[in-house]
Chain A
Amino acid sequence: MKLKQSSVLPGFNLALGYSLLYLSLIVLLPLSALFAKTMGLDWSSFWAIVTEARVVATYKVTFGASLIAALINLFVGMLIAWVLVRYPFPGKRFIDALVDLPFALPTAVAGIALATLYAPNGLLGEPLDKLGIKVAFTPLGIVLALTFITLPFVVRTVQPVLEDMERELEEAASSLGATRWQIFSKVILPTIFPALLTGFTLAFARAIGEFGSVIFIAGNMPFKSEITPLMIISKLEQYDYMGATAIAVVMLLVSFALLLLINGLQWWMAKRLGRRK
Chain B
Amino acid sequence: MRNYYIFKSGRIKKQDNSIIFEYTEDGVEKKIPIPIVDIDSIYLFGEIDINNKLINFLSQNNIMIHFFNYYGFYTGTFYPKEFLLSGDLLVKQVLHYYSNKKRIELAKEFVLGAIYGAILNLKRYKEKIDNEIDELQNLIKSIEEQHSISMIMGVEGNAKEIYYNAFPKIINQKIEFKKRVKNPPDNMMNALISFTNSLIYSSVLKEIYKTQLNPTIAYLHEPSTRRFSLSLDISEIFKPIFGDRLIFTLLNDGVLKQSHFDKDLNFAYLKEEGRKIAVKAFEDKLNTTFHHKGLGRVVSYRKLIRLELYKLIKHLMNEEKYRSLNFWW
Q: Do A and B come from one complex?
A: no
Chain B contact residues, CB within 8 Å of chain A: none
Chain A contact residues, CB within 8 Å of chain B: none
